[in-house]
Amino acid sequence: VQLQASGGGLVQAGDSLRLSCAASGRTFSIYGMGWFRQAPGKEREFVASISYDGDITWYSDSVKGRFTVSRDNHKNTMWLQMDSLKPEDTAVYYCAADLSEPRSDSYYLPHAYDYWGHGTLVTVSS
């Protein structure tokens, strides 16, 4: 499985961005998918996760109500709609794929995911 994240860029506080994650290869083996981010000098942190059917989603407290994760399995693509962006959202955003459905006790853990994309940089200026 290969993952390619795109859509990052430089925006101002309050703006919106939509990130995409395109999967290729053995995509039929993918179940859960997620977004993580890593700011300079900080550890990678969980942002959002979505189940195979898209009926279950999780968000970190810092993005809940502002970000929306979605996916289209026919297009092998996952998106992250980011609204009301803040300077603290500045980070490299990574998409990840899980070969099993996300579990409530591990969806936020990087090691629960089996494949990772290279990341896309989001910079939010104040």
Per-residue pLDDT tens over the stretch 55-109: 999 999 999 999 999 999 999 999 999 999 999 999 999 999 999 988 889 999 9
Per-residue pLDDT tens over the stretch 16-69: 999 999 999 988 788 999 999 999 999 999 999 999 999 999 999 999 999 999
- What percentage of the chain has pLDDT greater than the value 90? 91
pLDDT at 29: 83
Structure tokens at 2: 């290969």
pLDDT at 71: 97
Q: Which residue has the tokens 């189940």?
A: 51
Contact 107, 58 (CB under 8 A): yes
Residues in a beta bridge with 22? 4, 77
Q: Please tell me the distance from the alpha carbon of residue 5 to that of residue 95, in angstroms, as a whole number.
A: 6
